[in-house]
């Protein structure tokens, strides 16, 4: 131990450690003061409040990159997510979870969006809408915006959340704070459980720079060979197969694994002088070029892409802010990175690992537990009992289920499981875009095939970051005897549909579920989504036609009830907006309310501007990207846009058109974005039962009255969070999600 202690204290640079409070205090306090003054988040560099947007033509407003940049608009959304982490009204462990969410979001953003820009830059693409908006310009703006975000995230974590968690007994401890007994215990753990799986990789003429896997955490080590005096560099991967937070003897005290490894580097590099050890992390490009039309087999093409993605170019390097400057040129040159690709991080790296700490069982530091309810008409129905009872309940009238307020297991999952077990169900057709590990939906489909039912499944193997999982599910379904299609060339199948054909006394009847969210039991507890359970014959006929399109060669060009992308959805939406324009111009009320995740399609944005100018009253609830600018005089003064960020991820899409007293309501899998309307198979289902319409009306108006989690989009592109006023009612002060939880508990029923 004496030699080990001597070697550690001789380090010229601080080894990985959790910063003491105070390191970022000044920047954090300055940020919070500005927030309290304005309730707006940092202004992205692309936005120019002095720019006269109202002077632009509607075409320019709807299409210009200067008005809307998708990447920077997404970063605005991630700022709103991060706001939940430094909001004292959010329970403390939930704040920690929002740090993990923000960081995880950035990982995906760099893999996908920044990766795409990097590929454009490499291809020499520069012919964008406005002069000067080449990929390298956008990349520079992104780097500038992300650096500020990462600094505030670090300050929030280390100056606010972790010190408060320490007051509740939860601590991340630095190695140098441990006593001798704890160090000895951890040394045994290291030698027995960690050391055998570590592989130190030197970098010298005989050892080429090692491959660094995507999003892995590594230690960079600077060493001196005592025999030659030469400096060397080595890398050690922090093993993901061991807990990142090593539990200490004192309950709820943890040591970051990288500190344990750094404290025992002499066991890996015997005889060498260790100068410095620092954590770093790389992100690789997930946006790879592919030509589906030239592929002989879509499954093979996706499998090859997954192999290529492992070795794709690096697009981001995160490195400890205390890393020795001498090590950076080597990393940058070997990883082929520019200065803007390097992000210095104060404190912990790989923050998605904080999800595990946020799961510590301290209920008083978390949201109040919520148990989803079961619709009264479905209470007592089980897929293992009399399965016919479910179909009898659906025949009584359409059911609208709303997750996570209503149980996924006892509604959507029940439908698929009951269809699989019911002896009168002859065939099941299903789309799968994303689903969970150990998916009960997949298990039910396999069970149905084993019972001799005809099962056809469209598994979208191009679902980003779920390709490997979906390829595996596709193969398992095929092995079970299901008919499996992998998607359509040039299109992603994003619609959410399940169809069961049942033999009854009066002939065959089709039952179906069509929804806004994935058949994923895990995300159904954290995403808000809607689903329609029905046996409406016209919608069922549309679904059968749509499945024929997905699995065969049918080219259906019109549908009875459904709006289907890319066939007719955009055109029907434009026509519905035109109807509201006509009502307003005739002196009647024109009214539109639309809830979605993103609004980017330029043709719809332009039509909404036209509707505002005609006097149509428009409210948009857009969680993420939004191309439209509200409140511009003479252009969009009749349009309001809010974004809701709360306990659950708002994921449902609802579209309402007043239609002069004969309202049109739709739920959909599609956002009003070009990719959804042009490059994906999507479906929007009409909700025609007045009782179901009333429920959708309640969701929309409750969302519009939210004063807790709602953000208003300002004309200059910034977002300002609403603040409850004195005397606010429960909905306004608590937010729409709390209101819907209370509403569902009290009513214990769902419309229908």
Span 74-118, pLDDT tens digits:
999 999 999 999 999 999 999 999 999 999 999 999 999 999 888
More confident residue, 302 or 265: 265
pLDDT the model gives residue 3: 37
pLDDT surpassing 70 at residue 752 = no
More confident residue, 731 or 97: 97
More confident residue, 122 or 687: 687
More confident residue, 741 or 63: 741
pLDDT the model gives residue 444: 97
**pLDDT one-digit tens code per residue, 491-517:** 999 999 999 999 999 999 999 999 999
pLDDT surpassing 90 at residue 207 = no
The three-state secondary structure class of 611 is helix
Q: Say which range, 130-144, 460-474, 549-563, 735-749, has the weakest mean pLDDT.
A: 130-144
pLDDT grade, residue 551 (50/70/90)?
confident
Structural contact between residues 16 and 219, judged by C-beta atoms closer than 8 angstroms: yes
User: What are the percentages of helix, strand and coil residues in the chain, rounded to 5?
Assistant: 40, 20, 35
Given the DSSP bridges, would you call strands 314-320 and 273-284 parallel, antiparallel or unpaired? antiparallel
Give the number of other Cβ atoms within 10 Å of residue 520's Cβ: 23
For residue 246, give both structure tokens.
């090593």
pLDDT the model gives residue 621: 98
**pLDDT one-digit tens code per residue, 222-246:** 999 998 989 999 999 999 999 999 9
Q: Tell the burial category of 584 from Cβ atoms under 10 Å away from its Cβ (0-12, 13-18, 19+).
A: buried
Given the DSSP bridges, would you call strands 399-403 and 527-534 parallel, antiparallel or unpaired? antiparallel
**pLDDT one-digit tens code per residue, 436-480:** 889 999 999 999 999 999 999 999 988 877 888 888 999 999 999
pLDDT the model gives residue 53: 77
Q: What is the mean pLDDT of residues 429-437?
A: 93
pLDDT surpassing 80 at residue 302 = no
**pLDDT one-digit tens code per residue, 702-711:** 999 999 999 9
pLDDT surpassing 90 at residue 137 = no
pLDDT grade, residue 8 (50/70/90)?
very low
pLDDT surpassing 80 at residue 123 = no
pLDDT grade, residue 295 (50/70/90)?
low
Q: What is the mean pLDDT of residues 128-144?
A: 76
pLDDT surpassing 80 at residue 326 = yes
pLDDT grade, residue 56 (50/70/90)?
confident
Q: What is the mean pLDDT of residues 418-435?
A: 96
Give the number of other Cβ atoms within 10 Å of residue 3's Cβ: 8
**pLDDT over 70, % of the chain:** 94
Mean pLDDT (the chain) is 91
pLDDT the model gives residue 75: 95
pLDDT surpassing 50 at residue 283 = yes
Structural contact between residues 199 and 283, judged by C-beta atoms closer than 8 angstroms: no
**pLDDT one-digit tens code per residue, 388-418:** 999 999 999 999 999 999 999 999 999 999 9
**To 5 degrees, how large is the angle CA 651–CA 687–CA 376?**
80
Name 479's Cβ contacts closer than 8 Å, sequence gap at least 6: none
pLDDT the model gives residue 200: 92
Q: Say which range, 204-213, 373-382, 387-396, 718-727, has the weakest mean pLDDT.
A: 204-213
Structural contact between residues 568 and 576, judged by C-beta atoms closer than 8 angstroms: no
pLDDT the model gives residue 7: 42
Task: Give catalytic residues, as residue numbers.
Answer: 494
Whether the model pTM is above 0.85: yes
Q: What is the mean pLDDT of residues 296-315?
A: 77
Q: What is the mean pLDDT of residues 28-50?
A: 82
**pLDDT one-digit tens code per residue, 622-678:** 999 999 999 999 999 999 999 999 999 999 999 999 999 999 999 999 999 999 999
Q: Say which range, 19-28, 537-546, 595-604, has the weakest mean pLDDT.
A: 19-28
- The H or E element spanning position 222 is strand 217-224
For residue 317, give both structure tokens.
């390097």
pLDDT the model gives residue 48: 55
Name 617's Cβ contacts closer than 8 Å, sequence gap at least 6: 589, 590, 591, 592, 638
pLDDT the model gives residue 9: 43
**pLDDT over 90, % of the chain:** 77
Name 706's Cβ contacts closer than 8 Å, sequence gap at least 6: 642, 644, 722, 731, 732, 735, 736
């Amino acid at each position: 131990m004496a030699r080990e202690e001597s070697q550690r204290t001789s380090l010229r640079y601080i080894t990985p450690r959790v910063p003491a409070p105070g390191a970022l205090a000044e920047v954090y306090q300055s940020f919070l003061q500005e927030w309290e003054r304005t309730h707006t988040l940092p202004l992205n560099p692309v936005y120019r409040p002095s720019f006269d947007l109202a002077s632009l033509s509607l075409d320019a407003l709807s299409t210009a990159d200067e008005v809307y940049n998708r990447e920077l608009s997404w970063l605005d959304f991630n700022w709103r997510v991060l706001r939940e982490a430094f909001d004292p009204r959010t329970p403390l462990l939930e704040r920690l979870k929002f740090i993990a969410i923000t960081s995880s979001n950035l990982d995906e953003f760099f893999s996908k969006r920044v990766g795409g820009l990097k590929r454009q830059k490499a291809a020499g693409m520069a012919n964008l809408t406005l002069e000067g908006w080449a990929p390298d310009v956008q990349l520079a703006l992104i780097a500038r915006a992300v650096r500020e975000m990462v600094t505030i995230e670090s300050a929030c974590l280390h100056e606010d959340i972790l010190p408060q968690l320490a007051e509740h007994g939860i601590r991340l401890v630095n190695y140098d704070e441990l006593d001798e007994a704890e160090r000895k215990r951890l040394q045994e753990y290291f030698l027995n459980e960690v050391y055998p799986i570590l592989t130190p990789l030197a970098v010298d003429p005989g050892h080429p720079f090692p491959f660094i896997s995507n999003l892995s955490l590594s230690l960079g080590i600077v060493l001196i060979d005592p025999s030659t005096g030469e400096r060397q560099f080595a890398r050690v991967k922090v093993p993901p197969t061991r807990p990142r937070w090593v539990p200490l003897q004192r309950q709820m005290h943890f040591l970051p694994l990288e500190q344990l490894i750094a404290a025992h580097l002499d066991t890996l590099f015997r005889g060498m002088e260790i100068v410095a050890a620092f954590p770093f992390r790389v992100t690789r490009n997930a946006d790879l070029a592919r030509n589906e039309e030239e592929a002989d087999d879509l499954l093979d093409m996706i499998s090859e892409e997954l192999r290529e993605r492992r070795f794709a170019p690096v697009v981001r390097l995160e490195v400890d802010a205390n890393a020795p400057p001498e090590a950076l040129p080597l990393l940058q040159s070997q990883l082929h990175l520019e200065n803007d690709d390097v992000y210095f991080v104060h404190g912990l790296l790989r923050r998605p690992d904080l999800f595990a700490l946020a799961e510590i069982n301290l209920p008083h530091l978390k949201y109040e537990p919520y148990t989803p309810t079961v619709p009264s008409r479905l209470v007592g129905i089980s897929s293992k009992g009399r399965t016919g009872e479910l179909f009898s309940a659906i025949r009584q009238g359409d059911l609208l289920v709303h997750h996570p307020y209503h149980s996924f297991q006892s509604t959507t999952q029940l439908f698929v499981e009951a269809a699989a077990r019911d002896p009168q169900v002859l065939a099941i057709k299903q789309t799968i875009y994303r689903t969970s590990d150990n998916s009960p939906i997949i298990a039910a489909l396999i069970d149905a095939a084993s019972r001799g039912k005809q099962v056809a499944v469209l598994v979208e193997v191009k679902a980003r970051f779920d390709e490997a999982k979906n390829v595996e599910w596709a193969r398992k379904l095929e092995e079970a005897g299901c008919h499996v299609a992998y998607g359509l060339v040039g299109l992603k199948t994003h619609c959410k549909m399940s169809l069961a054909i049942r033999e009854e006394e009066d002939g065959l009847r089709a039952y179906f579920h069509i929804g806004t969210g994935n058949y994923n039991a895990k995300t159904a507890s954290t995403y808000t989504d809607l689903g329609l359970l029905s046996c409406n014959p016209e919608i069922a006929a549309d679904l059968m036609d749509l499945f024929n399109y997905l699995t065969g060669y049918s080219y259906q060009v019109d549908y009875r009830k459904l709006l289907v992308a890319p066939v007719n959805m955009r055109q029907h939406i434009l026509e519905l907006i035109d109807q509201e324009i006509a009502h307003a111009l005739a002196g009647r009320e024109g009214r539109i309310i639309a809830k979605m995740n993103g609004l980017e399609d330029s043709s719809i944005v332009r039509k909404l501007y036209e509707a505002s100018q005609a006097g149509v009253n428009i409210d948009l609830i857009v969680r993420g990207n939004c191309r439209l600018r509200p409140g511009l005089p003479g252009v969009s003064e009749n349009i309001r846009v809010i974004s809701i960020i709360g306990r659950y991820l708002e994921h449902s899409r609802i579209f309402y058109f007043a239609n002069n007293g004969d309202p049109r309501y739709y739920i959909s899998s599609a956002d009003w974005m070009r990719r959804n309307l042009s490059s994906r198979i999507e479906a929007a289902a009409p909700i025609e039962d007045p009782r179901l319409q009333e429920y959708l009306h309640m969701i929309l108006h409750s969302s519009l009255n939210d004063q807790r989690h709602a953000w208003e989009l300002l004309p200059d592109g910034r977002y300002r969070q609403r603040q409850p006023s004195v005397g606010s009612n429960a909905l306004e002060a608590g937010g729409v999600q709390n209101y819907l939880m209370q509403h569902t508990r009290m009513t214990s029923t769902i419309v229908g």
